[in-house]
Amino acid sequence: MKEGTVLIIGRPNVGKSTFLNNLIGQKVAITSPKPQTTRFPIRAVYKDQRGNIIFVDTPGVFGKAEDLLSRQINKKTLESIQEDIDLVLYMVDHTRRRDFEEAKVLGIVRKIEKPKILVINKIDKTTPSYLAQYKFLEKEFDRVHMISALKGKHIKPLIDDIFKFLPEKKGESEVDFHEKPTPILNIDSKTYVAELIREKLFLLTRDEVPYTVNVEVEEITPRSENLTYVKAKIITTADRYKKMLIGKGGKMIKEIGRLARKELELMSNKKFYLDLEVITDPHWQERIE
């Protein structure tokens, strides 16, 4: 049996979270077309008869971290790199040009003295393509794989290669599966539900709103065998964003709650009641650790 830790790194929106969600077969990281979707490293485990792969899904590294939130995200990514890892997956998106942001991530990857696999994602898309701008990197990596994380194409050969680089497990497993195995190793239920609500908010609101917003779940309480009560605060930096999040006649906040509740119910086969409140706090970003 093999077991090891694999760091997934790349700039924002290359498909790291999509890859991990589809591989695990359960949502472990939220996704959206917008940057800053993943805000902290997520540890999740893939398990088969060969052993355990402990993935660390990092937030995308921003080339220019101009605001406090972006600086915090970059800091968390760099901290996760210092963990005891066995392998690096450097994921790129061939439909986007190489730029300063990509060069910054590549510079970080080059300093990691571990085996590395270059993963070229989104091969289901043929245009635009800047594949030639990434092909020269092949000589720097131990392996190269071209995949579609969204469509699940060519994932199996990548997993086969990952296991080849992992060490044989010695002593107790790092993975604690408890009675009901979960693929998520470092997120409690409140954080998970908060992330799910934030995902729906990202999908429904205008471009400028998501980056001013955080979600905090205050309470998750079973009210009966089949009903769970969730109380959560959506925190934003200004009253104008609060109005957008609530929407005319409460339409937006109701739709955010409806989509989040629907996904929770599909996942658990139980009913949920979401009690959502929008508040203004211009300093919430300063409290992100």
Grade residue 63 by pLDDT with cuts at 50, 70 and 90. very low
pLDDT higher than threshold 70 for residue 98: yes
Confidence of residue 76 (pLDDT cuts 50, 70, 90): low
With vertex at residue 22, the alpha carbon angle to CA 142 and CA 159, rounded to the nearest 5 degrees, is 30
Written as six digits, the tokens of 12 are: 């924002």
pLDDT of residue 182: 47
**Domain 2-165 indexed as CATH 3.40.50.300:** yes
Model confidence at 282: pLDDT above 50? yes
Q: Are strands 143-146 and 213-222 parallel, antiparallel or unpaired?
A: unpaired
CA distance linking residue 45 with residue 22, whole number of Å: 12
Whether the per-residue pLDDT at 2 is higher than 80: the answer is yes
pLDDT tens profile 178-187: 433 445 454 6
Q: For residue 54, what are the β-bridge partners?
A: 5, 45
Mean pLDDT of 143-152: 94
pLDDT score, position 179: 39
- CATH architecture of the domain 189-287 equals 2-Layer Sandwich (3.30)
Length of the chain as a residue count = 289
Check the CA dihedral 257-263-266-269 and report its sign: negative
Under DSSP, the state recorded for 49 is T
Structure tokens at 245: 């999040």
Find the angle CA(14)-CA(20)-CA(26) to the nearest 5 degrees: 135
Tens of pLDDT, residues 216-262: 889 989 898 889 999 999 998 889 889 989 999 999 999 999 999 98
* 139-157 average pLDDT score: 94
Q: Determine phi and psi for 238, rounding to 5 degrees.
A: -150, 155
With 80 as the cut, is the pLDDT of residue 62 above it?
Answer: no
Instruction: Flag the least confident range among 10-14, 218-222, 243-247, 282-286.
Output: 282-286
Give the list of residues 6+ apart from residue 248 with CB closer than 8 angstroms, or none.
none
CA distance readout (Å), 275 to 69, 102, 144, 154, 260: 26, 41, 47, 42, 11
In terms of pLDDT, which residue wins out, 174 or 141? 141
Model pLDDT, residue 263: 83
Q: Which residues contact 124 (CB under 8 A, 6 or more apart)?
A: 148, 150, 151, 153
Report angle CA 135, 141, 142 to the nearest 5 degrees. Answer: 130
Question: Does residue 233 contact residue 284 with C-beta atoms inside 8 Å?
Answer: no
Beta-carbon count within 10 A of 27 CB: 19
Q: Which of 57-61, 82-86, 132-136 has the highest mean pLDDT?
A: 132-136
pLDDT above 70 covers a percentage of the chain that reads 76
Q: Domain ranges in the chain?
A: 2-165, 189-287
How far apart are alpha carbons 251 and 244 in whole angstroms? Answer: 10
- Residue 270 — pLDDT band, cuts 50, 70, 90? confident
